[in-house]
């Protein structure tokens, strides 16, 4: 049985991949990442404003008043204000 010396130099060359070279900076990847983050925020704001307006409407219906007379929570008013569709 042969025991190898622990400090033997080994040559490790990275494999060459034909046709795989990064020639420029990855702007497309960062653009796609940012567009998905912005799209997620838009969807969250829309559904948050939808839920907030339903909560305000249900409280107004339960109190027997109009929606303009009901004071919403700060986050409900903020989401309804930020969303251009509500």
Query: What's the pTM value of the predicted model, to 2 decimals?
Result: 0.63
At 17 the pLDDT is 72
At 26 the pLDDT is 74
Nearest to 41 by CA among 5, 79, 81, 8: 79
**Domain annotation covers residue 80:** yes
**Domain annotation covers residue 3:** no
**Domain annotation covers residue 60:** yes
Residue range of the domain that includes 68: 45-86
Are the CB atoms for 78 and 39 separated by under 8 Å? Answer: no
pLDDT in tens, 11-51: 666 666 777 777 777 778 889 999 999 999 999 999 999 99
At 50 the pLDDT is 95
60 CB burial (10 A radius; 0-12, 13-18, 19+): middle
Inter-residue long-range contacts of 68-73, CB under 8 Å, 24+ positions, other chains counted:
none
């Amino acid at each position: 049985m042969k025991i190898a010396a622990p400090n033997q130099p080994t040559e490790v060359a990275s494999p060459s991949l034909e046709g795989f070279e990064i020639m420029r900076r990855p702007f497309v990847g960062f653009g796609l990442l940012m567009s998905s983050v912005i799209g997620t925020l838009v969807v969250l704001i829309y559904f948050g404003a939808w839920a907030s307006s339903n909560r305000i409407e249900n409280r107004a219906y339960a109190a027997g008043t109009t929606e303009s007379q009901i004071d919403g929570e700060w986050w409900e008013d903020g989401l309804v204000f930020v969303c251009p569709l509500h």
